[in-house]
Amino acid sequence: MRVIFGIGNPGKKYLSTKHNIGFTVLDHFAEKYNLQFEPSQKDYYIAGSEIEASQFFLIKPATYVNLSGIAAKQVFEDINITIDNFLVVVDDVNLDEGKLRIRNAGGDGGHNGLHSINYHLENDQYPRLRFGIGKDFKEGRMADYVLSEFNDSSIPLLKKSIEDSGELISKFITGGKKSMLEYYSQLINKLKSNQIDDHPGD
């Protein structure tokens, strides 16, 4: 059993914002497999299926980003999974726009959503798929930046990175963290592009 947890803000006005790339990746993945998110009885939306006999659930919190940990804790109460079978998809201002990086575990890197998850789970040993949104903002304006939409010129790059994210998620579902990291390394060697960061697992 695997769980893929996307970070984002609920509501239409946040739909296409940089902070919601975690939701965007999960929405794209759900569409590919003809899945629909349904409200749970808790603070999250859920869609589930299986790939190659490996069962998974996609989770989108119904809370705002800085309260993501509330939904994460509820997921662990509702679904019997271990921490290494819980993958978080998160936006990252410390990576160039569209760049991907896998991280095995660790701190929140200044991200309020990860901070909330670490706090509520009392654990930071879960893998993350970090999706770069860049940091083209002036000092003190990060909140405005992450809640803004991507430029139209970024769309082709983002589409490719979203597709690559979906493939990484598929590998995570069918083979766990190890399989995802192996595929990530293959992408680095095959593509040699700016979308894939060359420091997997940091």
pLDDT digits (tens, 9 = 90+) for 94-105: 999 999 999 999
Q: Which residue has the higher pLDDT, 193 or 68?
A: 68
The token pair at 87 is 């993958």
- 196 within some domain: no
pLDDT above 70 (res 41): yes
pLDDT band at 90 (very low <50, low <70, confident <90, very high): very high
Residues 12-39: what's their mean pLDDT? 96
Range of the domain at 60: 2-191
pLDDT above 70 (res 200): no
What's the CATH number where 184 sits? 3.40.50.1470
Q: Which of 19, 28, 111, 115 is catalytic?
A: 19
Residues 54-65: what's their mean pLDDT? 97
- 19 within some domain: yes
Average confidence score pLDDT of the chain: 92
Q: Which residue has the higher pLDDT, 49 or 152?
A: 49
What is the full DSSP assignment across the chain?
-EEEEE----SGGGTTBGGGHHHHHHHHHHHHTT---EE-SSSEEEEEEEETTEEEEEEEESS-GGGHHHHHHHHHHHS---GGGEEEEEEETTS-TT-EEEE-S---TT-HHHHHHHHHHT---S-EEEEE----S-TT-HHHHHTSBPPGGGHHHHHHHHHHHHHHHHHHHHHHHHHHHHHHHHHHHHH-STTB-S-TT-
Question: What pTM was estimated for this model as a whole?
Answer: 0.92
pLDDT band at 192 (very low <50, low <70, confident <90, very high): low
- 141 within some domain: yes
pLDDT above 60 (res 194): no
Q: Is 115 labeled as catalytic in the residue annotation?
A: no
pLDDT band at 138 (very low <50, low <70, confident <90, very high): confident
pLDDT at 135: 87
Domain count, the chain: 1
pLDDT at 198: 53
- 200 within some domain: no
- 198 within some domain: no
pLDDT above 70 (res 30): yes
